[in-house]
Amino acid sequence: MIKEFREFIMRGNVMDLAVAVIIGGAFTAIVNSLVNDIIMPIIGIILGGVDFTSLAIPVGDALITYGNFIQAIINFLLIALVLFLLIRAMNRMNRKKVEAPAPPVPSVEEKLLTEIRDLLRAQR
């Protein structure tokens, strides 16, 4: 069982997945900082300094903080937009310009057949 577990862990796919999770965590921190530290303050200025996280409804002894939910939705949409723009830019940089292939050079037989066709047309 230990041998099988070691083989499972040492597979390329598992190691690739581990690296992807670690890189994803680091990238998440960057995107969250971009949204929370740069984009959200700008949106706050545009909206007149509205802070959604302070919005709440008291219900008995509980407090329903629907402002946090609104903030989470806005954060999700902004993060999705930032990721979309980054991936779109990366795809444009990676996109290879597709050139039209050159027309194939006719073979010797095709050239002879074309000449014969043209001669027959000229005789008519």
Angle at which helices 2-10 and 12-33 cross, to 10°: 50
DSSP-derived secondary structure for 54-86: G--EEETTEEE-HHHHHHHHHHHHHHHHHHHHH
What's the pLDDT at 5? 80
Q: What is the pTM of this model?
A: 0.51
Amino acid in the structure at residue 6: R
**Under a CB-based contact definition with an 8 Å cutoff, are residues 82 and 35 in contact?**
yes
Listed by start position, the domains of the chain span 2-98
Residue 74 is predicted with a pLDDT of 84
Per-block mean pLDDT, blocks of 10 residues, the chain (124 long): 80 77 87 82 78 84 89 84 85 75 86 92 90
pLDDT tens sequence across 29-38 = 888 888 788 8
| Chain Cα centroid distance, residue 67 | 29
In sign, the C-alpha dihedral spanning 78, 81, 85, 87 is: positive
* Tokens 């597709």 -> residue: 98
For residue range 92-105, what is the model confidence (pLDDT) as tens digits?
887 766 667 788 88
Q: What is the reported pLDDT for 12?
A: 65
CATH architecture of 2-98: Orthogonal Bundle (1.10)
Length of the chain: 124
